[in-house]
Amino acid sequence: MKKFITVAFLVISAGNAFTQSRFSKHELSINAFRNPSIGAEYRINHIAVHAGYYPTNFESGVTTEFLKAGLTYWFLPIGNKENPSSFYGSLSYARGLTRDYKDQNAAIAELGFRWMIYKGFNFRLGVAALASEGKALKINPTPGVSYSFFF
């Protein structure tokens, strides 16, 4: 678990070398689908906090549910839009609600890309690694749909 957290932290902090200051100072996102969770996310400059409900499928047709909260680091903005598309890395704490993870703690590291489609409407696609004591490491895609307010 320590190696997993160390690798995730290094990947997220590697973005510092490529950071540009084109992000708005503040952003509030309402997340309607899984990434980072069904909930809310608040960003100041390049760092965001998020919390919400996180359903995922480790196998087809079987949904495992979590409560999830964590930090996201945004880097490498792309394009000339006022609010650019960009890459992100996040590290989160998750608490299992159902199935094999009920009442268990987990850590989730994720890397991905957010595409700003129109104004605040955006789509995310990432890959997450979920680690929990006594369980095999789980890797799965993390799509998401959100609307962001910038100020």
- What is the residue whose two structure tokens read 């998401």? 144
The pLDDT value recorded for residue 79 is: 86
The pLDDT value recorded for residue 16 is: 47
Give one DSSP letter per residue of the chain, joined into a string: -HHHHHHHHHHHHHGGGG--S-S-SEEEEEE-SSSS-EEEEEEETTEEEEEEEEEEEEETTEEEEEEEEEEEEEEEEESSSSS-EEEEEEEEEEEE-SGGGTT-EEEEEEEEEEEEEETTEEEEEEEEEEE-TTS--EEEEEEEEEEEEE-
The pLDDT value recorded for residue 82 is: 85
**Per-residue pLDDT in tens (0 to 9) along the chain, 151 residues:** 665 555 455 554 554 444 445 889 999 999 999 899 999 999 999 999 999 999 999 989 999 999 999 999 999 999 888 899 999 999 999 999 999 999 999 999 999 999 999 999 999 999 999 999 999 999 999 999 999 999 9
The pLDDT value recorded for residue 2 is: 62
Domains observed in the chain: 2-150 (2.40.160.20)
The pLDDT value recorded for residue 18 is: 47
The pLDDT value recorded for residue 21 is: 59
- The vertex-37 CA angle with 59 and 129, nearest 5°, equals 50
